[in-house]
Amino acid sequence: MISTLWTLGIIFLSLSCVHLIFIFTSKKQPKKDFSGVFMRVKTWWGMFAVFCIATLFNPIVSLFSLMLLCFFALKEYFSMMKTRKADRRLFLWSYLAIPVQFYWIFIGWYGMFIVFIPVYVFLFLPLPRLLGKGTSGFLRSVSSTQWGLMLMVFGLSHLAHFQFATPEYGANLVLFLVVLTQLNDIAHYLISTYLGKRKVVPSANPTITWEGYIGATLITIAAAYFIYPYLTPFDHTFALFSGLLISLSGFFGSLTISVLRRDLLIGDQEKLKMLHKSYLTRVDSLAYTSPVFFHVIRYFFDFM
């Protein structure tokens, strides 16, 4: 608990310093547009509050806070879809799947947790769309909804499973994962914005560059090496591997969800401009890093 408090304290001070620096810079350079940076800082504060609750309190409180995170992430995802009246029942069933998914975590039924959304929800989710007698746009609405559930619920729900799978290390492992994922995103954004030249996929995400990816990977690996003794039971080799794994999976998560969002919002420029203000933009990497990190630890370590 002491190491967790120290880590959260350092994050709080770091966010405060960053916030003050950009406030000071914006006043010194009033002609420059810092709205994108300020929006990112604001969402980082929101995420910091959520993960404080998730790591400082008992697993039940953590479970509910992360369940709410999944709900709002899925709600924001659905708001990007072009929907019809026939899709409402589909969305209702999707929301109902969230407490069921978290119930499997609560009772410790790992087998059902791991197959509920990828197997049972995937197979039966089309039913409300069929019962609604809607055939137009059936494939797009059902497949888009299934993607949303896989990423925003199945992927993020792994964050809650850490504390139930390993009560001794769970909270610290979540903090380790979130700190490295967000640090990777911040480093990637800043390096790509100010130093990046070679864009990875300009049509999907113009801010992602190869310079940003390489720089963020090195920073994430270095951070993993320095903080692993305080938050994890790993040795230095696995800590370095964890930094690389989180950076790589976070990169693919951010890139994949960028493509997905822009495909959903084709022709809706107003919503497309609002992407940078969404919390979904901050948790896109976690939707990938959480399950990947969880299952790699489960494979290599007995305490999971």
Confidence of residue 3 (pLDDT cuts 50, 70, 90): low
Confidence of residue 282 (pLDDT cuts 50, 70, 90): low
Pair of tokens at residue 153: 């619920």
Q: How far apart are CA 89 and CA 80, in angstroms?
A: 17
Q: How far apart are CA 139 and CA 173, in angstroms?
A: 38
Q: Are 58 and 171 in contact (CB under 8 A)?
A: no
**Among 70, 119, 79, which Cα is nearest to 99's?**
70
* Window from 156-165, 178-187, 216-225, 242-251 with minimum mean pLDDT: 178-187
- Give the per-residue pLDDT at 241: 96
Tell which phi-psi region holds residue 151, choosing left (phi > 0), alpha (psi between -120 and 50) or beta: alpha
- Across the chain, what does the average pLDDT equal? 82
Phi–psi pair at 209, nearest 5 degrees: -125, 165
Confidence of residue 242 (pLDDT cuts 50, 70, 90): very high
Report the 10 Å Cβ neighbour count for 273. Answer: 10
**Among 276, 275, 288, 282, which Cα is nearest to 248's?**
288
Say whether pLDDT at 265 is over 60: yes
Q: How far apart are CA 87 and CA 83, in angstroms?
A: 6
Q: How far apart are CA 91 and CA 94, in angstroms?
A: 5
Q: Are 297 and 173 in contact (CB under 8 A)?
A: yes
Phi–psi pair at 68, nearest 5 degrees: -65, -40
- Give the per-residue pLDDT at 113: 96
Please, where are the H alpha helices in the chain? 2-28, 35-56, 59-79, 88-107, 110-115, 122-124, 126-131, 138-148, 156-165, 170-194, 210-231, 236-264, 269-273, 280-283, 286-300
- Mean pLDDT over 36-63 rounds to 71
Tens digit of pLDDT for each residue in 172-191? 898 899 889 988 888 888 88
Report the 10 Å Cβ neighbour count for 302. Answer: 6
- Burial tier of 177 (Cβ tally within 10 Å: 0-12, 13-18, 19+): buried
- Give the per-residue pLDDT at 78: 87
Say whether pLDDT at 127 is over 70: yes
Confidence of residue 208 (pLDDT cuts 50, 70, 90): confident
- Give the per-residue pLDDT at 216: 92
- Mean pLDDT over 272-297 rounds to 77
Q: How far apart are CA 123 and CA 213, in angstroms?
A: 36
Measured between alpha carbons, how far is residue 149 from residues 39, 81, 90, 94, 101 in Å? 26, 13, 11, 7, 11
